[in-house]
Amino acid sequence: MSRRALDELGLGPIWIRRDQLAALAYDAEAEENDATPAARSAQGARPAAVALSGASTKPAAKASRAPVVVIPDARTRATPQETAQPEESARSREIAAMDWETLDASIRGCTACALCESRTQAVPGVGDRTARLLIVGEAPGAEEDKRGEPFVGAAGKLLDNMLAAINEKRGDGVYIANVLKCRPPGNRNPQPAEVAECAPYLARQIALIQPAVIFAIGRFAIQTLLQTDAPISALRGKVHRHGEIPVVVGYHPAYLLRNLPDKAKAWQDLLLLSDQLASANRVSHA
């Protein structure tokens, strides 16, 4: 990777001590290779079991069809063993009709899964509610749980640098959210039932924001949004769709902090994202 590209990403001087890597809120080891169903079920995590399918680009209030979110019945607290049921619950229908304030309060007060017991606070998301670019990560880590904002730890600094490299900025035309709104204890992988309970929240955020482009970072976000088991390596370099919304995929910044050689690929992903944003701009100004 060229020196310039590294500088643009702000990666030149970044070195993380081995003993500090454990604190990164991400299973970076699994990013590339553990994407097969067998490998994931061995870890007790199958993000693709949950559908945020059919997300409309329009808010439910305005759209003829609200986003269809497939989640298990939320009346009982989910256990890790449960699998998602293919029917829309009353809870997901209720969430699909929420405005921003109600949604925010609902996320902050959510007790639908056991993560509410270990969290300091829920982390709904941050940024511009009319953003063109929505970034979707995995789940809050320790720092995010403490501060109530997504991507504020080491991975978040790298994410900010990556955005700056394509002239984008957190909060300015950009919204950042996670698949899970609460921190999994010890930064373990999200479990399918947890993803299922949180899915309506992300679906509603997408419907309210109506982003021009989604940047899905890391395998949990990618597999949840695209409903695929495919590894990131097979999905990179193409534009996918979540409903009608173009989705660009990329490596999770926590993974990139550990895997220097893949930063060149991250630069390519950012260029694709930038192209998509530019073409979305052209369409909106046509």
Can you tell me the distance from the alpha carbon of 247 to that of 85, in angstroms, rounded to the nearest whole number? 25
Binding span for ligand URA by CB under 6 A among 44-52, 148-156, 190-198, 255-263: 148-156
Q: Could you tell me the sign of the dihedral formed by the alpha carbons of 11, 178, 171, 203, in that order?
A: positive
- The least CB distance from residue 218 to ligand URA, in Å, is 6
Largest Cα span, the chain: 54
Q: Does residue 150 belong to the site contacting ligand URA (CB under 6 A)?
A: yes
**Planar angle of CA 29, 30, 32, nearest 5 degrees:** 100
If you write DSSP's letter for every residue of 138-181 in order, what string do you get?
A: S---HHHHHHTSSS-SHHHHHHHHHHHHTT-BTTBSEEEEES-S
Stretch that binds ligand URA, among 37-45, 150-158, 202-210, 236-244 (CB under 6 A): 150-158
Among 28, 155, 174, 256, binds ligand URA (CB under 6 A): 155
The mark string for 214-233 relative to ligand URA (x by CB under 6 A, - otherwise) is ----x---------------
* Sheet of strand 240-242: strand arrangement: 126-127, 174-178, 133-137, 213-217, 245-250, 240-242
Residues 25-44 that bind ligand URA (CB under 6 A): 25-26
Does residue 82 belong to the site contacting ligand URA (CB under 6 A)?
A: no
Cα–Cα distance measured from residue 272 to residue 269, given in angstroms and rounded to the nearest whole number? 5
Binding flag, residue 194, ligand URA (CB under 6 A)? no
Please state the closest distance from residue 86 (CB atom) to ligand URA, in A.
26
CB of 82 to ligand URA, least distance (A): 23
Query: Which residue among 151, 175, 215, 251 contacts ligand URA (CB under 6 A)?
Result: 151
Interface with ligand URA by CB under 6 A: which residues? 25-26, 137-141, 144, 150-151, 155, 178, 218, 254
